[in-house]
Amino acid sequence: MRKRKQQISKHPSERPDIAAEPDVQWRATVVQAEELPLPKGERSVPVFAHGNMLLKFYTPRGTDEQTPHTKDELYVVVRGSGTFVRGGERHPFRPGDVLFVPAEVEHRFEDFSEDFATWVIFYGPEGGEGNEENEAN
């Protein structure tokens, strides 16, 4: 059995796609995430990354106008409530809920409270882990 070489993530200062420079790359707090500047043209703040995983903090205001993403993603609701629309299905959400969205699936948050905030975790290959092409590789 081949031992897999451990991938070491670059520090955010070496990654132009990551805005944060937290002291610790294995832990993030809501307070830290809320203090990060929102990159121009973005709706969420990158917090840190490791390999192909990217953690962001998302706090939409008014409406959620996101479009489908190219990677699988998890949302971990921090605060607030509302309705989550995924592939045409509607589900209520509240703090502590974890919501999964496969790559390329339409989704959005609707009727959410003003205090709504969620972690967003993008991971896996482009096209998602369930993609037949990725499954063959």
- The answer to whether position 92 is within a domain reads yes
- Is 97 inside a domain boundary? yes
State the average pLDDT over residues 57-66. Answer: 94
For the record, the structure tokens of 42 come out as 């973005």
132 in a structural domain: no
Q: Does the residue 80 lie in any domain?
A: yes
Please give the helix or strand (H or E) that residue 82 lies within, else none: strand 82-86
| Residue 109 placed within a domain | yes
For residue 75, being part of any structural domain is answered with: yes
Task: Look at residue 137 in the predicted model and tell me its pLDDT.
Answer: 53
Q: What pLDDT score does 25 carry?
A: 73
Enter the pTM of the model.
Answer: 0.78
User: Judging by beta carbons within 10 Å of its beta carbon (0-12, 13-18, 19+), is residue 116 exposed, middle or buried?
Assistant: buried
> Which pLDDT tens digit goes with each residue over 102-114?
999 999 999 999 9
Q: How many CA atoms lie within 13 A of 45 on its CB side?
A: 21
**CATH number of the domain encompassing residue 107:** 2.60.120.10
Segments forming the whole domain that contains residue 84: 64-126
Beta bridge partners of 92: 83
For the segment 6-54, what is each residue's pLDDT rounded down to a tens digit? 333 333 434 444 444 445 578 899 999 999 999 998 889 999 998 999 9
In a domain, 27, yes or no: no
Sequence-ordered alpha helix ranges (H) in the chain: 30-35, 132-136
> Count of domains in the chain?
1
Q: Is the pLDDT of residue 62 over 80?
A: yes
Evaluate whether residue 58 is within a structural domain: no
Report the candidate in 41, 40, 47, 45 with the shortest Cα–Cα distance to residue 59. Answer: 45
